[in-house]
Amino acid sequence: MRRQSVQVAHASAGEDVLCFTTAELDVTANLDPLHLTIADSTGHVLLDDVPVCPVTFTGSSFRVWKASPPDEHYYGLGDKPGRLDRRGRVFRMWNTDDLGWSESSDLLYKSIPFLIGLRDGRAWGMLLDNTWRSVFDFDVSVPDTFSFGAEGGPLDFYVLAGPDPKAVLGRYVTLTGPAPLPPLWALGFHESRYSYPSQARVLEVAAEHRMRGIPLDAIWLDIGFQDRNRPFTVDTGEFPDLSSMTRRLDETGIRTVAITDLHIAHQPGVGYRPYDTGRAGDHFLRNGDGSLFIGESWPGPSVFPDFAQARTRAWWGGLYRDFYLRHGIAGFWNDMNEPSVRDGPGKTMPLDVQHRVQEPGQPGRTVPHAEIHNAYGQQNIRATHEGLLRLDADRRPFVLTRASFAGGHRYAATWIGDNASTWQDLRLSVPQLLNLGLSGFTLSGGDVGGFLGSPSADLLTRWVQLGAFTPFFRNHTSLGTADQEAWAHGPDHEAIRRRAIEARYRLLPYLYTLAEEASRAGTPMMRPMMLEFPAAGLETEESQFMLGGALLVAPWPDETLEPYPLRLPSGTAWYDYWTGRRLDASDDISLEKRLDHLPVFVRAGSIVPHQPLVQSTAQVPDGPLLLHVYPGPDCSGTIYQDDGVSFAYRQGGFLRQQFTCVTEGGGFRLRFGPCEGGWEPWWREIEVLLHGADKPARRIEVKGESLDRASFDEVRGVTRFCIDADAAGGEVRIETR
């Protein structure tokens, strides 16, 4: 955790009272009796202790008790299923491999003890900086009381000021560090299953995508590609030439991602290098009596790296050399890192297994697994991420993790684990992904189609449509399930799924711009309604979400064909994303269900960049950049681009451009801000699509000269024209009367 200093504007102390004021917070601590009150700079109380006994201690554990006003809403806590608003439930933090989890499940793969409180449009955040097993109770044990505590470790928590949820997230990222800018290909469509049985089948799936014209950026290899499930090995019988396979895939613009679980097969004396080098370097965990800890996992008896040691993390990172540099694997998947141990208590290792915390420049100490457990997966992905950077310092690593702790978003993307092929799991994925985004994991997704079981044709189609508008878009399924590629279930479903995937690829300039914003400000790509509209009374709305600040996605809440309501913030106009039709905000809009249609809307005042269709992000778009302009208040948009692979953007190798559109009595002024950075864009022209018009433009003027090339779509109300990219450095005037 990054320690941050606080600028104190004023501090005072009386006999029983301590007070200090920052630019954003006013803190008062009464010492006898103990009572802590934290207010914002306007005097609005954000966090207040309960009147009696605000802190209790029992042995090494503690519990803190805070007042919970009836209209307070709570969000975050990462990987927890159920409602978006956490109020009315108890949550425990203990990373657990829970195969077949459900809406009422609690212990899942990640422990992120960070939450956001929201009341009357004012927000605050709190991070419990404690890795022990902890608990958060929202009004269950004691009415109108929110409590949190841990079984051990320090009573150390941060309170983060708002005033709105975005500001809270910005402070959380300042504290923990931002998520990195991912490689562009990570935002494409990914195909996976447990497991593709052979090299031939992988190449067949890739060729089928290209033959059918269904865009694809990555194919994933689950544990089946390994020799007897041993990490960092290859089954050369079924995958006789891994390097040749990845080269052939690369030639078609498809990357390869491979799983590398953290359990190392306990196989001495057989030439298994990860075990031999790990044992020689004393990198494996030990029991309390000093013996090697051995637990059951995919390869059978396994040993586990002690990631609390910096030297062990360096050793682990070095294991990727052949896969990354020789075999051409583009990204890595760290699974089973809760850690999952089949024969251990609670499906993990005993709490007295010993970890040696050793960091350069700090005194070493030996601690039990009870303290490290929740952070074990985080240190695993840290070792992977840092190891890949050492192997290739100018290539952005891509790592996916199942387990993590607060701050783990610095090292990896994530997904919601082993979901099921049910309509309920499809519905649950939305609030779960939203709370992961509010917990720092801006690049997250769910297994499209569900991992456990085989989805019906309709369910898979709807899941593909929804997945196309989530940050991480991977189709994945388990052993023994039916084929789940986009062409399963016949040509009608294939056509709908293809259109959804194509829509994502056309939207990539917008998505990549959101990813870059997330890497700077911590604002998630996929956002709950309350994040964009904190004062609009949509705090509990979880059946719809925002993708960035411009797009509202309203997926189907169930499998029925009954119409369902759309809740839009009052005072804001919207456009239908697919048709361009303008509609006014209303609380009683009813959406009709059609299998071939996912309702998506655009906020008036948005400018959304698109690109021509490509089959992968490795393909340079052929044609103009498309700017969809939706007039409205404060109309603006941004595009960010770079090479999508390296860190050259840190030295100015990027492009960022702002756009604004001002409505005038007789038309519009579309303004192009100066291009920041030194990256040369792929487009030479910009095609503008101005939505919401009821008649053709009388005149379009670019830098004082009339533009003759323009068209008008009367059905959609779209004025369309093209300008040279170099000519777009100033202003375009569109006269409508």
Residue with tokens 């002690």: 306
Burial class (CB in 10 A: 0-12, 13-18, 19+), 575: buried
End-to-end CA distance of the chain: give it in Å, rounded: 59
Burial class (CB in 10 A: 0-12, 13-18, 19+), 100: exposed
Q: Which two tokens stand for residue 632?
A: 């409205």
596 is catalytic: no
Would you call 394 helix, strand, or coil by DSSP? coil
Q: How far is CA 341 from the centre of its chain?
A: 26
335 is catalytic: yes
Residues of the chain by 3-state class (helix, strand, coil), percent to 5: 25, 30, 45
Contact by Cβ (8 Å): 418, 99: yes
Q: How far is CA 158 from the centre of its chain?
A: 23
Instruction: Report how far residue 65's alpha carbon sits from residue 86's, in angstroms, rounded to the nearest whole number.
Output: 16
Q: Which string of DSSP letters, residue by residue, matches 539-591?
A: TT--S-EEETTTEEE---SSSS---EEE---TT--EEETTT--EE---TTEEE
Q: How far is CA 548 from the centre of its chain?
A: 12
Residue with tokens 């705090």: 539
Contact by Cβ (8 Å): 516, 609: no
26, 137, 335, 502: which is the annotated catalytic residue?
335
Residue with tokens 């509010």: 438
Q: How far is CA 691 from the centre of its chain?
A: 31
Which amino acid is it at 377?
G
**DSSP symbol at 34:** E
> What backbone phi and psi angles, to 5 degrees, belong to 87?
-60, 140
**Which residues 6+ apart lie within 8 Å of 5 measured at CB?**
none
- The C-alpha angle with vertex 513 and arms to 385 and 381, in degrees rounded to 5, equals 15
Q: Which string of DSSP letters, residue by residue, matches 650-678?
A: GGT-EEEEEEEEEEETTEEEEEEPPPBSS
| Closest residue by Cα to residue 205 from 252, 242, 260 | 252
338, 447, 485, 516: which is the annotated catalytic residue?
338
Strand partners, 526: 547
418 is catalytic: yes
**Which residues 6+ apart lie within 8 Å of 565 measured at CB?**
588, 589, 590, 591
**DSSP symbol at 322:** I
Q: Are strands 34-40 and 114-119 parallel, antiparallel or unpaired?
A: unpaired
**Which residues 6+ apart lie within 8 Å of 391 measured at CB?**
317, 318, 320, 321, 324, 325
26, 191, 371, 418: which is the annotated catalytic residue?
418
Burial class (CB in 10 A: 0-12, 13-18, 19+), 78: buried
Q: Are strands 685-691 and 10-13 parallel, antiparallel or unpaired?
A: unpaired
Residues labelled as active-site residues: 335, 338, 418
